[in-house]
């Protein structure tokens, strides 16, 4: 089954062609640059940019896959969570394509898309694992017991982990979005330079909190001379990253112990973080757990993961009604 997927929930316009939900033929991602000078995503501009880009990006994805619209067996697009004006572009376009070609259509939950990225990246992966879903909008530990059957074990009580990376990057003058920039800069810094707080140390809790950590970095920067901050920028980035990664690792280990699951799958943009991958690899080695994560281009927002999730539902004979709406605050379950 050849699925065309569309992703327009935030500031990436993406189209992909995926076979049977497991094999990527093409995955074209256009990251909108228009937001950079505002230091964050401007919803109205995101929607307008998606409208401008969606047709050429889809044509590029079809061309790269060596397919035409006539070859597509079904269409999938994100319906939420995300920015409503942005979501509506991909969702409406996918509905129109399905309606006009008479092919089925499935509206995909963006969070389920992130989970599906691992099924795309690891063809032999079964459907039972713990996933640490870490993105710009979400931070959750989810037990997967068959695709579509989820138990949320913990989540952030305030900021998402990616949001903390982005806000700290902004404080340090590293631009937006800044997760990858912190990751790069931290490689040359000392993670033990400052001990920033690790929130919710109580092992009985699996939830996360990142807003205190962000504030601690902001206060540190405010209370030290600018020259000193500039001189130790890499050390501060590394120290912040260490605190964020420690919190993610500690709670993930607790969830792994509690569930007894033998596979940990990372998903979402922050899953691209090199320190998070390294620390979780060490923890998993110790526990005898297999760690998997998608390649970086499938961690951050992309349409291949949306096509993969849509394909799994369509292969089960499930379809979405044409009157389904975009839902900005859609939950995983």
Binding site for ligand KG4 (CB under 6 A): 10, 135-137, 162, 165-166, 177-180, 183, 268-270, 272-273, 300-301
CB of 179 to ligand KG4, least distance (A): 2
CB of 82 to ligand KG4, least distance (A): 8
CA separation (Å) from 14 to 79, 240, 297?
14, 31, 11
By CB under 5 A, residue 139 contacts Zn ion = no
**Which stretches within the chain are classed as H helix?**
43-65, 84-101, 110-121, 161-171, 179-186, 211-222, 226-231, 233-259, 274-287, 296-299, 303-315
State which residue, 1 or 212, has the beta carbon closest to ligand KG4: 212
By CB under 5 A, residue 12 contacts Zn ion = no
By CB under 5 A, residue 161 contacts Zn ion = no
CB of 214 to ligand KG4, least distance (A): 12
State which residue, 65 or 270, has the beta carbon closest to ligand KG4: 270
Q: Residue 190 in 3-state DSSP?
A: coil
Neighbours of 222 (CB within 10 A): 9
CB of 78 to Zn ion, least distance (A): 9
Measured over all CA atoms, what is the biggest interatomic distance in the chain, rounded to whole angstroms?
Answer: 64
Q: Which residue has the tokens 């939900």?
A: 21
d(CA 138, CA 126) in angstroms, rounded, equals 24
State which residue, 33 or 70, has the beta carbon closest to ligand KG4: 33
Binding-site residue total for Zn ion (CB under 5 A)?
Answer: 2
State which residue, 109 or 239, has the beta carbon closest to Zn ion: 109
By CB under 5 A, residue 301 contacts Zn ion = yes
Handedness of CA 31, 178, 298, 206 (dihedral sign): negative
Nearest to 293 by CA among 113, 127, 121, 116: 121
d(CA 265, CA 299) in angstroms, rounded, equals 11
CB of 218 to Zn ion, least distance (A): 25
State which residue, 11 or 250, has the beta carbon closest to ligand KG4: 11
By CB under 5 A, residue 302 contacts Zn ion = no
CB of 166 to Zn ion, least distance (A): 13
Q: Of Zn ion, ligand KG4, none, which one sits near residue 270, judging by CB under 5 to 8 A according to partner kind?
A: ligand KG4
7: tokens are 């992703």
CB of 66 to ligand KG4, least distance (A): 27
State which residue, 13 or 239, has the beta carbon closest to Zn ion: 13
Q: What is the Rg, in whole angstroms, of the alpha carbon atoms belonging to the chain? A: 20
Say how many Å lie between the first and final Cα of the chain, rounded: 27
By CB under 5 A, residue 135 contacts Zn ion = yes
Residues across the chain: 333
The helix (run of H) or strand (run of E) holding residue 199 is: none
Draw the binding track, 239-278, toward Zn ion (x: CB under 5 A; -: no contact): ----------------------------------------
Contacts of 126 (CB under 8 A, 6+ apart): 263
200: tokens are 């919710």
Residues near Zn ion (CB under 5 A) are 135, 301
């Amino acid at each position: 089954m050849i699925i065309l997927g569309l992703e327009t929930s935030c500031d990436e316009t993406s189209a992909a062609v995926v076979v049977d939900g497991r094999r990527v033929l093409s995955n074209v991602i256009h990251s909108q640059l228009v937001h950079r000078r505002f230091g964050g995503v401007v919803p109205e501009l995101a929607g307008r940019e998606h409208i401008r880009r969606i047709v050429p990006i889809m044509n590029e994805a079809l061309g790269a896959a060596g397919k035409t619209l006539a070859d597509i067996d079904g269409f999938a697009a994100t319906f939420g969570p995300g920015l409503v004006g942005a979501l509506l572009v991909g969702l409406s376009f996918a509905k129109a394509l399905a309606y006009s070609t008479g092919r089925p259509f499935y509206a995909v939950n963006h969070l389920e898309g992130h989970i599906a990225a691992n099924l795309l990246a690891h063809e032999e992966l079964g459907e039972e694992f713990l996933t640490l879903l870490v993105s710009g909008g979400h931070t959750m530990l989810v037990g997967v017991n068959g695709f579509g059957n989820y138990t949320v074990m913990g989540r952030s009580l305030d900021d998402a982990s990616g949001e903390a990376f982005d806000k700290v990057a902004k404080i340090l003058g590293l631009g937006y979005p800044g997760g990858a920039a912190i990751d790069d800069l931290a490689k040359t810094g000392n993670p033990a330079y400052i001990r920033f707080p690790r929130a919710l140390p109580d092992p009985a809790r699996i939830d996360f909190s990142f807003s205190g950590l962000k504030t601690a970095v902001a206060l540190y920067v405010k209370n030290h001379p600018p020259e000193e901050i500039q001189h130790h920028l890499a050390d501060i980035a590394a120290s912040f990253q260490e605190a964020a990664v420690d919190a993610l690792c500690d709670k993930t280990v607790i969830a792994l112990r509690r569930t007894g699951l033998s596979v940990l799958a990372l998903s979402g943009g922050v899953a691209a973080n090199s320190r998070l991958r390294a620390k979780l690899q060490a923890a998993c080695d110790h526990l005898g757990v297999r760690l998997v994560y998608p390649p970086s281009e499938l961690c951050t927002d992309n349409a291949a993961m949306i096509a993969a999730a849509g394909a799994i539902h369509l292969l089960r004979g499930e379809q979405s009604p044409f009157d389904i709406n975009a839902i900005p605050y859609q939950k995983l379950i």
